[in-house]
Amino acid sequence: MATITNVEAFQVAWSDDVPAKRSGFVRVTTDAGIQGYGECTPMQGGVHVLGIVANNLAPALVGRDPLDHAVVLDTLFHRFIKLGPEGSLTSAIAALDIALWDIKGKLLGQPVHKLLGGAWRTEIPFYTSLGGNAQRTVDAVVRAVEKRVKRDSPRAVKIRFDGDRTTLDHDIPGDIAKAKAVRKLVGDGFMLGFDANNGYSVGGAIKVGRALEELGYAWFEEPTQHYYVKAMGEVARRLDIVVTAGEQTYTMQGVVDLIDAGVKIIQCDPLKMGGITGLAQCIALAFAHGVEIVPHQTQPTIGHAAHLHLMAIKMHATKPMEWNDPEERDTALMQTIMRAPWPMGNGTFRVPSGPGLGIEIDDDQLNRRIRRVAPQA
């Protein structure tokens, strides 16, 4: 039906002054005159991932049928597995998978969620994900939450701490004080999440978790270092509050370990593991084990579009989806590359209904921001 003729991997510069503020995109072209777009992890501007795409994966994709994406990408994953199955390789596969699903939808004239079996919902409630709270005072945390609640009317708020990863239990009384102040601000009925960003020992996490239970928080995210799966499980089993994790786990096998340990909501990231195919598999995995999946989200353009289609196709959804919105100005700027971003209002996003990802990339806007970082196939 179609053949891949070109695979580009490039950074998109949102500001030339701040190299860290770059996204990593792929653009796949076919002989059917259709292009698909994908996105990789934004860590370090995606530069390491783009190198793997350009040097290792792109040459093997040219000449292949984009509708064979799962077989082709799984073959490449295993061919290059020694590059590291827990890192850049999985994000490279993810970016390409998203682009090939975009092509598949455009070839067949259907949005991605239709090709995955249809939408349980086309309006997706979201929660505000507010980072950097370890560095704020209690008052500053309250003001930051208040501003975002007023602006976006989210269905829930998560306060992320983003503290120094080399210290544990740095300021437990201060963290609990911030959790209390936010509860007081939003009132008793409002859904809240607390993201420790791996900041506690097991003992520290139990102490904070008990306080969060008293305060009626809905979930406690990554209480311990992600690589201590048993410790994460011990915290999950000893507390009543739901413990969540998974944004730093990049294989299905790793996700199974987290579920077996006791994690009740898994938070796989479609840009870091498997793309749309991988996350659809994680949705099935969560269903099979009676746990929930609420994916991790960081980027308000292509990655968010992929995320919306995935949130549409999962049946159980007791929590809203994540909306990180790095900074107001950045998000508005980043969305200028799309002609049809998702409508947003009243704490919800509408799932795009156009073919593929349904977001219509404006190539004039995109091309002027492209920064090549690796030789192209």
Determine contact, residues 246/237, Cβ cutoff 8 Å.
Answer: no
Task: Give the shortest CB-21-to-Ca ion separation in angstroms.
Answer: 20
* Tokens representing residue 123 in the block: 């309006």
Nearer to Ca ion, 35 or 90 (CB): 90
Q: Does the footprint of Ca ion cover residue 97 (CB under 5 A)?
A: no
Site string for Ca ion, 244-273 (x = CB under 5 A): ------------------------------
Nearer to Ca ion, 25 or 161 (CB): 161
- The whole-angstrom distance between residue 291's C-alpha and the CA centroid of its chain comes to 18
d(CA 316, CA 327): 30
Contact with Ca ion (CB under 5 A) among 8, 152, 175, 195: 195
Q: Does the footprint of Ca ion cover residue 322 (CB under 5 A)?
A: no
Number of residues this chain uses to bind Ca ion (CB under 5 A): 1
Nearer to Ca ion, 9 or 294 (CB): 294
Of 29-37, 89-97, 190-198, 302-310, the window that binds Ca ion (rule: CB under 5 A) is 190-198
Of 46-54, 193-201, 335-343, 361-369, the window that binds Ca ion (rule: CB under 5 A) is 193-201
Nearer to Ca ion, 39 or 269 (CB): 269
Of 99-107, 131-139, 191-199, 305-313, the window that binds Ca ion (rule: CB under 5 A) is 191-199
Nearer to Ca ion, 175 or 195 (CB): 195
The CA-to-CA distance between both ends of the chain, in Å, stands at: 22
Of 143-151, 189-197, 314-322, 357-365, the window that binds Ca ion (rule: CB under 5 A) is 189-197
Task: Give the shortest CB-325-to-Ca ion separation in angstroms.
Answer: 14
Nearest residue to Ca ion on Cβ basis: 195
DSSP codes of every residue in 73-122? HHHHHHHTGGG-TTTHHHHHHHHHHHHHHHHHHHHHT-BHHHHTT--S-S
The contacts of residue 313 (CB under 8 Å, 6+ apart) are 113, 116, 117, 118, 119, 120, 280, 283
Q: Cα dihedral angle (44, 47, 49, 50), rounded to 10 degrees? A: 150
Of 80-88, 194-202, 231-239, 314-322, the window that binds Ca ion (rule: CB under 5 A) is 194-202
Task: Give the shortest CB-222-to-Ca ion separation in angstroms.
Answer: 6
d(CA 352, CA 262): 34
Q: Which amino acid is at 341?
A: P
Task: Give the shortest CB-249-to-Ca ion separation in angstroms.
Answer: 12
The full 3-state SS of 146-206, as one line of letters, equals HHHHHHHCCCEEEEECCCCCCCCCCCHHHHHHHHHHHHHHHCCCCEEEEECCCCCCHHHHH
Q: Which residues of the chain form contacts with Ca ion (CB under 5 A)? A: 195
